[in-house]
Amino acid sequence: MRAVCLFLVLVISKTLTLAGRDLPLSPLAPFVFFWQDVLAALVFLAVDTVLRRPAFAWLLYGVAVAYVAINAPIAVVLGTPLTWTMMRAAGGPLADSIGHYFTPFNIGSLVLVAMAGALLPIVLARRRVNPSWSVVAAAMVIVTTGAMADSRIETRGLQRNAFGALVGSRMTRIEEGADTPADSEMRARTSARAPVNLEQLRGAARGRNVVLIVLESTAARYLGLYGAAPDPMPILSELGRQAVVFDAAYAVYPESIKGLFSTICSRYPAIDTPPAAHARVPCISLAQILAQSGYRTALFHSGRFEYLGMAPMIADRGFEVLKDAGGIGGNIRSSFGVDEPSTVREMLEWIDALEKGEQFFLMYLPVAGHHPYAAPGPGPFELPGDFGRYLNSLHYGDAALGELFSGLRARKLDGRTLIVVQGDHGEAFGQHPDNFAHSMFIYDENIRVPYLIAAPGLITDHVRSAGVASVIDTPPTILDLLGYPVPAQHQGRSLLRSETRPAFFYTDYSLGWLGLRDSCWKYLYEIDSDRSKLFDVCSDPDEVRNRSGDFEARAHEYRVRVQRWASAQRDAVTHGR
């Protein structure tokens, strides 16, 4: 009876998750979407039968129901129950983001599932409902059919229940051991969108200060610099009028901490590994190289280093000064961090404290743009819902950039400073089903980011490059601009060189996705279902038309490449090499 009750609780929770979503029409769909719920009930029945300890079984049932109830609103909002990766991320800095979803409907879904778990045993006990062997046999047929048909229907992970998502995210999805892909394998297959020739800039910024700005949750598609109107970041667009702007720049991972590792170390992170594991990876960081060359170095973050293990990631990476929200103070705007003007003031004060003529490398990590999109005022965008608030938060962050640029000009440093601006990842607002925030998928709204290089007095024209770029290219590009050699250990390449390479990326927050951008081709591989997607993003920028069936050989080659790449990176990070 307890197993039947748990099954019904899981069905109620799954029904709440699936309600209102676009689902595939297929006779196999009921088997695919509910087989994990049947399996969970069968496993519980087996444990209950073997142990024959009613008191313990009721305790286990209560814990299981509570966990399903907690996951119910999460699955309703995000389309997935909690995974291990999501659990690591749900810390104190996200308190405001979590609180944002304390709506009557979401709380009601939790209460409904919990009440069902409490009342069903009472109702079914009176009817003496217990599964017979024929029912068990039928359940096993459902599990077998659903599991075998899982890869034939695009479920977006909606078939998983609270237990399936947790167990699945602990399984090894990519084996270690592949050799690092040869340089020839890393080059682009096609040259339909070759980058502009920037060779003349190599060494041209020699002796300049460096300011590296990593924008939080800023997707290229929403900015005027990339054709959006109205423009939430006009100051950034103004900077771009005399800058090199990259149209196809990509994050390596749709989350900040692993992206930061790539930005400062020019190395790819690894799938199914915690951020802390990357702190043990040998790294010749950009800050370390510049510090050894006489630069004063500092990193200022409007958020908190405690989030997702950022502190060990940036420790001993060559930064003389490390300051986050705790050290900056200012006006607390959300649990995630402090107001951007306070951070800008701290950075300018640090510059003022340097000896006259000292070169500096300043890295700025704002939090404007991060959910729950906090800003001090209403802002100019009156669009309803999260998207309007998001644009206003970008606009607020843009104003802080203006204060920083004005501060550099007031100190007559702008003509002696190299400015590089990139995004850490994007932000999604339902462009693809169940794609919200940034972590779950690797469509362009999640990982295509703004990227520009400005050097007032040196770069005086607006230059656009269509070549593919990645955030791992940032250290080699800056070093090349400054006239320094690029370490052989860097996996990125200087964007000033004519050579082109694909950009690789992945996510493991919910489902496991691997991908690459190679000229006009964008390839996505869903590990769990062994399903491929191939898009020509030059003609289909919204990634609507899957061409994998039309170009099977290309899709197969890309699948082998991303699997080989992911395997090599996991081996390197896991073993700290």
Q: Is residue 226 part of a domain?
A: yes
Q: Is residue 319 assigned to a domain?
A: yes
Evaluate whether residue 535 is within a structural domain. no
Query: Regarding predicted confidence, which is higher, 213 or 498?
Result: 213
Q: How confident is the model at residue 522 (pLDDT cuts 50, 70, 90)?
A: very high
How many Å from the N-terminal Cα to the C-terminal Cα in the chain? Answer: 52
- In the listed set 125, 145, 168, which residue is the last one of a domain according to the structure? 168
Q: What is the pTM of this model?
A: 0.91
Instruction: Verify that 451 and 306 share a domain, yes or no.
Output: yes
In a domain, 137, yes or no: yes
Q: Which position has the higher pLDDT, 331 or 375?
A: 375
The 10s digit of each residue's pLDDT in 552-574 is 999 999 999 999 999 999 999 98
Are 538 and 520 in contact by the 8 Å Cβ rule? The answer is yes
In a domain, 509, yes or no: no
Question: 224 and 318 in one domain?
Answer: yes
Place of tokens 């850490």: 424
pLDDT digits (tens, 9 = 90+) for 432-461: 999 998 889 999 999 999 999 999 999 999
Statement: residue 116 has pLDDT above 60: yes
Same domain, yes or no, for 127 and 271?
A: no
Q: Are 362 and 377 in contact (CB under 8 A)?
A: no
Residue 526 lies in a domain: no
Lowest mean pLDDT segment, chosen from 180-184, 289-293, 397-401, 473-477: 180-184
24: preceding bond cis by omega (within 30 degrees): no
What's the Cα-to-Cα distance from 372 to each of 217, 258, 336, 504, 564, rounded to whole Å? 11, 21, 9, 28, 37
Q: What is the pLDDT of residues 9-39, one digit of tens each?
A: 999 999 999 998 988 888 999 999 999 999 9
- Compare 349 and 149 and report the one with higher pLDDT: 349
Counting every residue written for the chain, the total comes to: 577
- Domain range for 481: 202-499
Whether 359 shows a pLDDT value over 80: the answer reads yes
Q: Is the pLDDT of residue 479 over 60?
A: yes
Q: Which helix or strand (DSSP H or E) is residue 47 part of?
A: helix 29-51
Task: Looking at the structure, tell me whether residues 250 and 364 fall in a common domain.
Answer: yes
Question: What kind and span of H or E run contains 184?
Answer: helix 183-186
Query: Does the pLDDT value for residue 182 go beyond 70?
Result: no
Question: What CATH number does residue 359 fall under?
Answer: 3.40.720.10
pLDDT at residue 91, rounded to an integer: 59
Q: Specify the pLDDT at position 95.
A: 54
pLDDT for res 171: 77
Distance between CA atoms of residues 284 and 267, nearest Å: 10
Would residue 528 count as lying in a domain?
A: no
Residue with the bigger pLDDT between 106 and 458: it is 458
382 has pLDDT over 90: no
Would the pLDDT of 130 be above 90? no
The angle formed by the CA atoms of residues 450, 456 and 460, to the nearest 5 degrees, is 85
Least confident of 148-162, 174-188, 281-295, 342-356: 174-188
- Do 255 and 134 fall into the same domain? no
Question: Which residues, other chains included, contact 393 with Cβ-Cβ below 8 Å and sequence gap of 6+?
Answer: 368, 369, 370, 373, 374, 375, 379
Domain boundary among 439, 473, 499: 499
Average pLDDT over residues 375-393: 89
Last residue of some domain: 458, 481, 499?
Answer: 499
pLDDT for res 194 = 58
Q: Are 160 and 210 contained in the same domain?
A: no
The verdict on 157 and 243 lying in the same domain is no
Alpha carbons 363 and 422: distance in angstroms, whole number: 11
Residues 232 and 347 occupy one common structural domain: yes
152 and 211, same domain (yes or no): no
Phi, psi of 166 (to 5 degrees): -70, -45
**pLDDT for the residue 94:** 52
**274 pLDDT more than 90:** no
Please report the DSSP string for 391-441 in residue order: HHHHHHHHHHHHHHHHHHHHTT-GGGEEEEEEES---EESSSTT-EESSS-
Tell whether 152 and 207 lie within a shared domain. Answer: no
* Average pLDDT in the chain: 90
Window from 183-197, 299-313, 373-387, 398-412 with minimum mean pLDDT:
183-197
Using DSSP bridges, classify how beta strands 321-323 and 296-301 pair: parallel, antiparallel or unpaired. Answer: parallel
Binned at pLDDT 50, 70 and 90, residue 335 comes out as: low
Please state the domain count of the chain: 2
Say whether both 115 and 250 belong to one domain.
no
Q: Are 149 and 488 in contact (CB under 8 A)?
A: no
Please tell me the predicted confidence (pLDDT) of residue 309. 77
Q: Based on the domain organization, do 159 and 208 belong to the same domain? A: no
- Confidence band (pLDDT; 50, 70, 90) for 184? very low
- Rounded CA separation 254/266 (Å): 16
Average pLDDT rounded to a whole number, residues 88-106: 66
- Domain membership of residue 251 (yes or no) is yes
Looking at residue 343, what DSSP letter applies?
A: H
